[in-house]
Amino acid sequence: MLNPTGVAVLGAVFNLNHPAHVVHWHFIDLTVSNVIVIGVMLLVFALAIALPFPGAARRRGGAA
């Protein structure tokens, strides 16, 4: 559990005492936090396709 000083410091850095920020696009309303999560998912998806898997080349070379 954070002590009151810790809570005050965290509150000063991350001020959550306001309504959520929302992205409006036509009929679509998304909170900024959800937009960030969707962006990270797209990034992870792209990296999962692009990055080589450890040992994949060796296995495909026939030394399974």
Residues that bind another protein (CB under 8 A): 1, 37, 40-41, 44-45, 47-49, 51, 53, 55-56, 59-60, 64
> Considering the complex, what minimum distance in angstroms separates the CB of residue 50 from another protein?
9
As a residue count, the chain comes to 64
Q: Which is nearer to another protein, 25 or 53 (CB)?
A: 53
59, 52 in Cβ contact below 8 A?
no
Q: Kindly tell me which of 28 and 63 has the beta carbon lying closer to another protein.
A: 63
